[in-house]
Structure 1
Amino acid sequence: MSNPPKLLISIVVAATRILGKAFLEAGRQAVKNAKHAPQNAIGADVAGVSNATSGTITDQLTRQHRMTLDEAHLILNIKRGESMENVLKHYEHLFKANSPPPPLPKPQATGGKVPPPPAHSHYLQSKVVRARERIEAEVKAGESPAPANPGAPGADTPPPSTASRAADGS
């Protein structure tokens, strides 16, 4: 029969080899993944933002606002196609619900317990604001079509206002 310490040493050596190979392969995979990941990415994909690669206005707005239109609708708990009045109503409710409460007056020394202030979240409040901005941007993009030739002179300038037309005498 073999010596128990020799058997134990051979088991430890075999386990070390197996773990070493596993760590080596994990390191190789991490290097491979790092080569394919964009260097200036802000965290993980946000609701398919990195998939918005076409040149459409919707994809441009998704990349700009880092939020898809569907995500914005989910945050504000509204359906597609709802009026801006309803969007703003939901926005105001959620914004106020996540706002910090106004300062409470100092309790009197009556011995009664004061209830804790309601919870608020600046993170949720910022998501609500970004969702409203995303929906507003989509509505504005749908109202004003993009110029046919973006490089043309005057393509970036807005049409003159009625006040400037009146001053010109037009």
Structure 2
Amino acid sequence: MAGRLIAQILVMGTQVVGKAFMEAYRQAAANAAKNGGHQAAKNGGGGAKAAAADAVTRKTGMTVDEAMNILNITKEADLAKITKNYQHLFKVNDKAVNGSFYLQSKVVRAKERLEMEWETQGNPMKIEAETPAVASAETPVSGSPEAGTSTSSHPPKEDKQA
């Protein structure tokens, strides 16, 4: 009697799990068909260019639209506007001015994604980063010997007098 009850429970459990699995598969297939058709229409029917763009998106983990949102630009923006926005966002998020390294890295990745996109389109352009400013001789940089701090990673030795 107990063996028969356990067998019935196993059969019913298998049926429930099987039905749930099939329903999930049908839903996934419907979503793929719906989104795949939308994506193909958006990319102009696919082709080699779309495959290259998809490969770059998979490689970088960022779409062109996301990169443009991060840099706060539109598709019609010229290189000067893109460079200006990139430099501003890079400076604002610098750790030296209490910025966010994470956001600064997102800005750099967005710039790289746009450059990769332009390269796949056969128009390799580079967004110029601002060159770092050279410190003047009158104002010592913190951490430099002129500023009175040691650059060594060891603590300064104390003078022991007897």
Higher helix share: 2
**TM-score normalised per structure 1:** 0.42
Relative contact order (C-alpha < 8 Å, sep 6+): which is higher?
Answer: 1
**TM-score normalised per structure 2:** 0.44
